[in-house]
A = this chain, B = another copy of it.
Amino acid sequence: MKRSVFFISDRTGISAEIFGRALLSQFEHEIEFDEKTLPFIDTADKAAEARKMIEEAYQQSSDRPLVFDTIVNPDIRAIIHQSPALIMDFFQTFIGPLEKELKTASSFTVGRHHAYDRSGEYNNRIKAVNFALNSDDGASMKYFDDAEVILLGVSRCGKTPTSLYMAMQFGIFAANYPFVSDDMDKLTLPAELKKNKSKLFGLTIDPNRLHEIRTQRRANSQYASLQQCRLEVRLVEMLYKKENIPCLNTSSKSIEEIAVLILERCELERRTF
């Protein structure tokens, strides 16, 4: 029997999920969870309905559900808190100590994203995503001058998801350039990259993992062969070394980790909202 879990929010529920999952991950070696997200619980009626769902989950099980909530409004929160559940409340827990420390009452406005949507930060994020798309895969090298960082690497080593994530999460203008055999044969950087050398960051990957990824894409091709993957990785790593380009092996890292490690090494500032 899985343990019922509810992530409840007056907005998207994404923060409540991140909050709850980080904690639940500490127990997954022992317990299976049945997770449900209830977003936009922003009226008393919706809260009563959510409470009913929690009650039903409790009736169907011998254990009370776990509830992770990030509801800002105290009245709506109170309705959820009457549920037969272990309530892990994000705002209630931390707002009190913060109010005391800052000697200021919290505004109890719902979220901050809304206010920020209209601001330059939001536009910047969309611009960064469009930039990553327009300059993806070396599509147009004219973008390199405007990039904050240019990711290099062989095909399928993680450049595109990383540059998109950096744009979406941090508002960073990240371009990327895929090495093609011509660059690798000559072991040189194209002129457009040389011009922007301080922005270059190399990605590399374990050849076996690359072989696996490329096989999913184009099985039994020359492109996916282990031999080809080994050759490309060896050449690209030689080039990074020769040109003194900082680099990172992506094989066992999540996109988040790769993105943050690049921010650190390139001393780029997070531009979040």
Contact = CB atoms under 8 A, between A and B. Distances in A.
A256 interface: yes
A130 to B, nearest CB: 8
A155 interface: no
A112 interface: yes
Contacts of A256: 11-12, 14, 113
A161 interface: yes
Contact of A129 (B106, B117, B164): B164
A260 B12 contact: yes
Interface stretch (A17-25, A47-55, A75-83, A144-152): A17-25
B107 A257 contact: no
Contacts of A4: none
Nearest to A256: B12
Contacts of A98: 23, 26-27, 66, 86, 88
Given A3-B102, A26-B109, A39 B70 contact: no
Nearest to A30: B104
A117 B15 contact: no
Contacts of A254: 113-114, 116-117, 122
B260 A23 contact: no
A163 to B, nearest CB: 11
Given A86-B101, A168-B164, A257 B113 contact: yes
Given A40-B260, A88-B94, 10 more contacts: A14-B260, A21-B272, A22-B112, A26-B98, A26-B107, A27-B98, A27-B106, A28-B107, A31-B102, A93-B93
